[in-house]
Amino acid sequence: DVQLVESGGGSVQAGGSLRLSCAASGYTYSSYCMGWFRQAPGKEREGVAAITNGGVSTYYADSVKGRFTLSKDNTKNTVYMQMNSLKSEDTATYYCAAGRPGITIATCTSGRDDPFGFWGQGTQVTVS
């Protein structure tokens, strides 16, 4: 079974930073597109960022460009999202997801959630 476990969420003041981690197991991690999504109360889930299996191509939502940065450590089967200059509107539950096998780079970096077939349990980020 594919398992994704997020960590690193918490409460922070506006302007602060957090680093989310997503540890993957149960599949060939390095072959998959990885993404982060978030959902705030009363809002739809939105794509925040994604990175292709090779780590060459990335996607960032306009709302986080220049503030959030993805990275991968294939030796640890872990993807990280560094979040800087956090704003109150970043408050949400953040989910890590792995793309379905065989999706293209364009699909991986589209911001859509339907290409992602495996999801973590979520980690809460609160910015005040």
pLDDT in tens, 92-109: 999 999 988 888 889 999
Provide mean pLDDT across the span 13-28.
91
Taking Cα atoms as reference points, which of 44, 86, 42, 45 lies closest to residue 64? 86
105 SS3 class: helix
- List the structure tokens of 74: 């294939």
Q: Output the CA–CA distances (angstroms, integers) from residue 69 to 28, 65, 76, 116, in the order listed.
A: 23, 8, 18, 20
pLDDT of residue 26: 80
Q: Return the beta strands (E) in 15-64 as ranges.
A: 18-25, 34-39, 46-51, 58-60
pLDDT in tens, 50-79: 998 888 899 999 999 999 999 988 888 899
